Amino acid sequence: MKKLIAGNWKMNTDLSQGSELISSITDKIQANKELQDNCDFLVCPPFVYLSSIKGVASGAQDCSSHKSGAYTGEISASMIKDCGGSYVILGHSERRSYHGESSAVVSDKAKAAHEAGLIAIICVGESENQRDQGQEQTVVGGQLLGSIPDTATAQNTVIAYEPVWAIGTGKTASPKDVADMHSFIRSKLNGLIEGSEKVRILYGGSMKPENAGELLAIPNVDGGLIGGASLNADAFIEIGLAAWAN
């Protein structure tokens, strides 16, 4: 499976920094045919900069579960599509914890995304406390069951495993923990999504050029969802290079 290298810019960059970042990323990808052949790249900027992204696939970091109407401040999936986006990240742990998004809400949003023709990247992951208590598979299994709508297919859905304690902390899960969780996720998808063996499962949480090669070589790790390192064009591209160097 071709690896998906996805950048989640979160609430970072201004218009000029974002434009510089995307043009630098695009130039580096366009200059390297082998990289294009081996990886798909995606960037997810803040909503307001989505229309400025050209030359690489783009997506948003959230969407409304509603199609349109009196929902002040919300952005619909079709608006994202209209601005050139083809993906949307849903159920990121920052949305689940700071905005109280339940798996049921994530499922409704994913359904809206699918209906608008977007690919939903559904995020799951346990907290440090849950892992310490040996609850990681129960938590992630429950999130998968609750967050994946019946509109999901292998083409319109990507899963991102992001252990909450590894996000922005510099800590990464050990290769064995990642291997165990990704194989658990793959087995859980069987029954939830037809053709589940073709669903991409990304790893996210302090992925950087130094650890990307090892993480991306693990079976069932089909790419990365990258926060901090995606804000640096060289680091983002080096992660892509590490994906197929192994």
Residues near ligand 13P (CB under 6 A) are 8, 92, 162, 167-168, 204-207, 225-229
Write down the least CB distance from residue 33 to ligand 13P, Å: 27
CA distance 94 to 133: 22
| 22 or 226: CB nearest ligand 13P | 226
Q: What is the nearest approach in angstroms of ligand 13P to the Cβ of residue 50?
A: 17
Shortest distance, CB of residue 102 to ligand 13P, whole angstroms?
Answer: 19
- Rounded CA separation 42/57 (Å): 5
CA distance 222 to 150: 22
Is residue 99 annotated as a catalytic residue, yes or no? no
| C-beta of 162 vs 238, nearer to ligand 13P | 162
| Tokens at 65, concatenated | 């579960």
| Given the residues 92, 101, 182, 238, the one annotated as active site | 92
Tokens read off for 55 = 């030359």
Name the residue nearer to ligand 13P (CB basis): 78 or 122.
122
Residue 70: CB minimum distance to ligand 13P, A: 30
- The one-letter amino acid code at 69 reads G
CB of 225 to ligand 13P, least distance (A): 4
Return the number of the residue (78 or 173) whose C-beta is nearest ligand 13P: 173
User: Is 162 among the residues known to form the active site?
Assistant: yes
Q: Which is nearer to ligand 13P, 61 or 196 (CB)?
A: 61
Separation of CA 209 from chain center? 17
**Alpha-carbon gap, residue 87 to 24, rounded angstroms:** 21
| H helix count then E strand count, the chain | 10, 8
Letter for the amino acid at 197?
E
Q: What is the DSSP string of 173-195?
A: --HHHHHHHHHHHHHHHTTTSTT
- Interior angle at CA 10, CA 186 and CA 22, nearest 5: 100
Q: Among the options 94, 126, 162, 238, which is catalytic?
A: 162
Q: Judging by DSSP bridges, how do beta strands 157-161 and 119-124 pair with one another?
A: parallel
Q: Which residues are catalytic, by number?
A: 92, 162
